[in-house]
A and B are shown apart, each in its own frame.
Chain A
Amino acid sequence: RKEVEQDPGPFNVPEGATVAFNCTYSNSASQSFFWYRQDCRKEPKLLMSVYSSGNEDGRFTAQLNRASQYISLLIRDSKLSDSATYLCVVTTPGNQFYFGTGTSLTVIP
């Protein structure tokens, strides 16, 4: 079983739509959780950390469910510039980072 699993998509949504991605992880001892964004032919960049109580950054909301071992990312009022691949990242004790395969999002005018 993979450490981190994501639906690869693609998700094609109209501008202004709300879209949500989920990611599941297998190691119950996982400690830290992140969402990264990767644009075509660019490096992954940190979008936001995911905290136990959930957190929001503008149009982006991240949540963690330790009991069910998943994290989610909600994007409200989608912009064209949100088109990218979104990577779920989980760390385990020992500082090992595990990346999901990424979910592709295209926001359509």
Chain B
Amino acid sequence: QVQLQQWGAGLLKPSETLSLTCAVYGGSFSGYYWSWIRQPPGKGLEWIGEINHSGSTNYNPSLKSRVTISVDTSKNQFSLKLSSVTAADTAVYYCARGLTGIAAAGTWCWFDPWGQGTLVTVSS
């Protein structure tokens, strides 16, 4: 059974860089897209981006200029960096295993399982 465990700094000042890491235990690292998703307090989910074991990435266009997702296949880990944070980046950040593909009827994608979440607060 695949489990994701994430960690990183929970309190940042404006303009700093958010850094989180997610470790994957108990399953294959290849064949999936490893994703980051965030949820501002009391609000809905926002997809940040994803990476596969080869290092191929896709990012949310609205965050692309500030986001870097990287992978360390030797450790079965992937990481998120978000630069120049502001209060608007305050959220619970989740890592998740993504399954994505293209069929005749369109693109399919879903996330399972998810990490436990990390609350990141940006405050001066």
Do A and B pair up? The answer is no
Q: A: which residues have CB within 8 A of B? A: none
Q: B: which residues have CB within 8 A of A? A: none
